[in-house]
A and B are shown apart, each in its own frame.
Chain A
Amino acid sequence: MNEKDRLEILKDILFTEDREDIDKIADRIELLEQAYNSREKFASRVDPIVEEQLDKFTKSIPHTLGPTITATLKKEIQNHKDEVVDALYPVLGKMVKKYVAQEIKVLSEKIDNQLSFISAWKRKLRSFFGGSKEKELLLDDIGGEKIEQVMLIERGSGLLKASFSKTETIDEEMISGMLTAIKTFVEDAFNQKNQELELIEYELYNIHIQSFVNYYVAVVISGAYSLKAKDKVQDIIFDFYHNFMEMNLDLIYTSRHLEQPVDTISSKLIQKKLAEYFGNAKI
């Protein structure tokens, strides 16, 4: 075998299958080519029909498939609430967040104001009762409770009827208005129909409040306010009020005799009485 023969044999061994494959591929390409061409021809005729059908089909979905789809969706949504919410969240999220943020802003503003409302009261009370006196009190024996101030205040309107004070520095008219507002607010807010606000504790002061029908009495006490002292203060208030009411009755009685309209007892007189009862009281 010469070199050329060997090469031929080798070629045969190596490429026989190849050649067959190449022939097959060529056949297939030809087939495809034919198919493609005929399909193009076919399509040009068929496509419009398909399109029309598809269009009809799409339009009929709401009637035909619609209910089914809706029912399926409903069921899917029901079964996968969390996922649905999750999916919707990014879309709704922004809206919801904006709304919630706004609401929270309003709410926190309200709370801020509520707090500032209370701290404003505190600040005011402090400026009325406080100042350097507070420090003096701290240095003094704290145990000794003392009556600092007494106010007879008209219920409702909160107007000051009369007052007695050892230190004439504060605006008692404002104080009685504020005490009444606090009292009203607390009693109203907590709906304490049968319960009255009795004591306002304020740093070194206790404000004892005793309500009657037309008036209430507020006694400002410095130092620790013991139960024993509270008992005493209450007694003094009752004694004073009893006397005050008697004066009122006397007045009504006298004015009836005089056939004159009932005048109120002068603040000066009540003031004198307040000093009498509370001024030197040991509690």
Chain B
Amino acid sequence: MQKSKKIVILGHFGVGKTSLIQRFVKDSFSDKYKVTIGVHITKKIVEVNENDSVSLIIWDLEGTDEVQMIRQAYLLGTHGVVFVFDVSRPSTFQNLNSDLKIVAEKTPDVPLIIVGNKIDLVIQDELQSLLKDNNIEANYLTSAKTGDAVNEMFTHLATLLNDLT
């Protein structure tokens, strides 16, 4: 049986939200930065096991440096949240834990996945200490450019949402 699930992708400007979706849905990547205004919707059917597939309706929200500024209305009825930061830009994760707290308050009782994107831009060892120093626990470290861990991340979320209901 196929279920439909809404997920929202949140994070500061230019962290790669749209690029991650593009990679996942179309398996492509562009270096050009096209700012998302408002919201953009895409859909992808994800096979979670032999019998089940989930139709993910992905809401790609415009970036906000202030998490508080996210339009509440876009978050209504969402089944899952992906919060993306940019490992190459400290300003996008310096306040990560307080950002996440606000996000969790805005979207209670739904799975929240924390993603550090653009890992192709930093050195692996330095990345680990960077995360440690900032007290960050990311669920996934991805690169929309190389495709690293992108499918895994979305498929994991889809599986999680399928199992929840």
Q: Which residues of A contact B5 (CB under 8 A)?
A: 159
List residues 23-72 of chain B with CB under 8 A from any CB of chain A: 34-43, 55, 57, 59, 71
Count of A interface residues, CB-CB < 8 Å: 24
Contact A171:B35 (CB < 8 A) given known A154-B77, A155-B77, A157-B77: no
* Chain B minimum-CB-distance residue to A180: B41
Q: Which residues of A contact B37 (CB under 8 A)?
A: 110, 113-114, 117
* Chain A minimum-CB-distance residue to B42: A174
Contact A188:B71 (CB < 8 A) given known A157-B77, A158-B6: yes
Q: Are A171 and B43 in contact (CB under 8 A)?
A: yes
- Counting CB contacts under 8 A, is A218 at the interface? no
* Chain B minimum-CB-distance residue to A159: B4
- Counting CB contacts under 8 A, is A177 at the interface? yes
- Counting CB contacts under 8 A, is B138 at the interface? no
Contact string, B1-29, partner A, CB cutoff 8 A, digits 1/0? 00011100000000000000000000000
Q: Are A177 and B59 in contact (CB under 8 A)?
A: yes
- Counting CB contacts under 8 A, is B79 at the interface? yes
Contact A158:B57 (CB < 8 A) given known A113-B35, A177-B41, A181-B38: yes
- Counting CB contacts under 8 A, is A145 at the interface? no
Q: Are A173 and B55 in contact (CB under 8 A)?
A: yes
* Chain A minimum-CB-distance residue to B35: A113
- Counting CB contacts under 8 A, is A187 at the interface? yes
- Counting CB contacts under 8 A, is B73 at the interface? yes
- Counting CB contacts under 8 A, is B78 at the interface? yes
Q: Are A187 and B35 in contact (CB under 8 A)?
A: no
CA distance A154 to B37 in the complex (A): 23
Q: Are A187 and B4 in contact (CB under 8 A)?
A: no
Contact A157:B76 (CB < 8 A) given known A117-B38, A173-B43, A177-B57: yes
Q: Which residues of B contact A159 (CB under 8 A)?
A: 4-6, 57, 77
Q: Which residues of B contact A188 (CB under 8 A)?
A: 71, 73
Contact A109:B43 (CB < 8 A) given known A157-B78, A173-B57: no
CA distance A144 to B164 in the complex (A): 47
* Chain B minimum-CB-distance residue to A183: B73
List residues 76-114 of chain B with CB under 8 A from any CB of chain A: 76-79
Q: Which residues of A contact B73 (CB under 8 A)?
A: 156, 184, 187-188
Highest count of chain B CB atoms <10 Å: which of A113, A114, A159, A187 = A159
CA distance A154 to B3 in the complex (A): 14
* Chain B minimum-CB-distance residue to A106: B35
CA distance A186 to B73 in the complex (A): 11
* Chain B minimum-CB-distance residue to A111: B37
B46–chain A nearest beta-carbon distance, Å: 13
CA distance A109 to B55 in the complex (A): 33
Q: Are B38 and A185 in contact (CB under 8 A)?
A: yes
Query: 28 A-B contacts, Cβ less than 8 Å apart?
Result: A109-B35, A110-B37, A113-B37, A116-B34, A117-B37, A154-B77, A155-B76, A156-B73, A157-B76, A157-B79, A158-B57, A158-B77, A159-B4, A159-B77, A160-B4, A171-B43, A174-B41, A174-B43, A174-B57, A177-B6, A177-B57, A177-B59, A181-B39, A181-B59, A184-B39, A184-B74, A185-B38, A185-B39
Other contacts beyond A117-B37, A154-B77, A184-B76: 6, CB < 8 A:
A114-B37, A155-B76, A173-B4, A181-B38, A181-B59, A188-B71
A→B interface (CB under 8 Å): 109-110, 113-114, 116-117, 120, 154-160, 171, 173-174, 177-178, 181, 184-185, 187-188
Among all A-B residue pairs, the 7 with the closest Cβ atoms: A157-B77, A156-B76, A156-B77, A177-B41, A157-B6, A184-B73, A117-B37
